[in-house]
Structure formats: C-alpha cells, structure tokens
Amino acid sequence: MALLVSLLVSGCFTDVSVFTSGRTEDPCNGSIPICRQYAGCALDEHSYVESSFPGDLRVSSHAEIPGSTLVVRILLMEMTWPGTELLILAYSPGCGDVRGEHLVDVDFFELAGRDRVLHFEIPLDSSGDHLVEVFSDMAATYLLTADMEGRR
C-alpha cells in the first residue's frame, strides 16, 4: 500500500492510466448493426473508447444475465465548455425499451468534480446486446467505459 501511495505521489500514474486500469482502447470505428442503427464498437470490462463532445457516440454492451446494471463512466480530459445537456440511453436487445439519464441545465465540469469523472448506473431488465447512446453539447474530449455489473 505504501508503494502505491508513493507511486501516486511521485506521478507515475496519470488520471488516464488509473481510469483505464489495463483496458485496451477500441478505435470504435466499426459498424455493428443494432436497433436499426450502427454502433461503432462493443465495449466490455476490457476496453474503453476515446472520443469528443459535442456530438454522439453509439456502442454496444452485452449483459449476460437479466437484471444487470450498465455502468457508464466518462473521464473528461480537454474541457473547453461545460454544455447544457447530456443524454445516456440504453436500449433493450429487442429495442422496445429504453432506459437512461437525461440531464439538462447542469454544469458537467462541476458535476464531474476534481477527478473529472461522470458516473451513471442504468438498470437493465434483459440479457443480450444493448445499444448505448451518449450525446452532449459540451465541448470536451473524453474516455468512456461501459461495464455490466451482475455479470457471471
């Protein structure tokens, strides 16, 4: 533990390396058909994506068991303007049900705090591949992870 604290204090770890913690970056430039749209990639506990707002990102995330929770984490990096809207949606495998978060009139840089991480948990009823859409009008580059809790 003392070694970890020492390494953190000495600057051997960056926010990015802590956030990604051994994950592999996915360029997310594919075309996975899902819900009559296309996801750029499939994210899991071994991968992350780098992108930028304003704009949107579509990824796929797989829930192995019903009742899983989608955990979306966004590390804000180059932060230019905090924006006014953030939308995170998770579509069921049949695309008939949508769950998510829609925040408006929020300073997202302030919400992210000192660690610059936004954290969202979305409960899902069914197993299978879920389309995950993220949209914001803020101006920032970011890293995104999408994990399923409750996986076997």
What does pLDDT average to over the chain? 91
Query: pTM for this structure?
Result: 0.89
pLDDT at residue 65 above 90? yes
**pLDDT 10s digits, 5-44:** 444 444 455 689 899 999 999 999 999 999 999 999 999 9
Instruction: Give CATH for domain 22-149.
Output: 2.60.120.380
**pLDDT 10s digits, 40-64:** 999 999 999 999 999 999 999 999 9
- DSSP one-letter code for 68: -
Model pLDDT, residue 13: 55
Model pLDDT, residue 62: 97
pLDDT at residue 110 above 90? yes
- Residue 141 makes CB contacts below 8 A (sequence gap 6+) with 50, 51, 52, 53, 76, 77, 78
Beta strands in 15-151 (DSSP E): 24-25, 32-34, 37-39, 41-42, 47-63, 69-81, 85-91, 98-104, 117-123, 128-149
User: Terminal CA-to-CA distance of the chain, rounded, Å?
Assistant: 29
Model pLDDT, residue 5: 43
